[in-house]
Chain A
């Protein structure tokens, strides 16, 4: 492209300004976490002496790690379950399609469009009667079901990319369905499966509707923990920021590392 230097300079300034504006709330959150409470509410400045006081204080709240543990448990547990159920289903849809496959797939997606509020009451009552309210298992099951349609969709997209011939060669070589999946399908689509799993982890990690409504203390994940800062405690901005930073950091890094992969699966092959 024959862009002059000045044009390129203006372009860079424009792009970086927009980037700065978009990223600013996150940057600010991270910075505020390293401030004292007094600095946090003072006039904004980028220059201050960083302190770990807020992190220490947050860590001092005995329950922080329990929330974090719950988040990890629920996000990874539900992802694992969804993959275990989703891989065979996506396999059969991609490689053994029948007349009903397309319909089944669309129906599965349509359950994702079922608004959670529409079924909140019965789920709440069922959970109450089964003693699953405020349990990690309960939340894990809900997240598994919540993500299953998208997980199957994404896996289906990745599996479709695998030449059918390779699985047929495996079948000729004597592989049964389980071996076909274990020795051929899974190793060959591992990047796709991984990115599907990561998206599922991100969605579960960030989910707030069910976690706020079905958990209170024992099984509450970080979303609920952070939400508790909307109470008067929220005035402690530095601590809030420190806790928020810790809550989002792992998932943010995950996201950065896998964004390209994730898009491919998410777009159902519409975007190559």
Chain B
């Protein structure tokens, strides 16, 4: 059976921890490994940070939307903003690429999301904002030690 949840919150840095913990708590019923849960939290944190500092340019009036659903041991997470959008997605995905070097951004957000999830999709437009969607299998990966 499918199970789904949605949350939305202001684009404030202090909400980053809340958002990744909320998604991780929702995913916990799949009994994931500690490493998988850490990877999920990291991917959420990267996408939410991008929405706040790039999408909304750190304007707290912006709203970040997260929806997540679980089906057949897999979590599907959609993180959306209505901010300025990404001009060139392929360029943004390049490791070490950043538009904000003055903020000491590492330019690793999308690289980390790609490595820490099973499937990553990015849709963006400069008129309507950015949607990051990723899937990650969490159940049935535990190795039973005999």
A and B: interacting chains: no
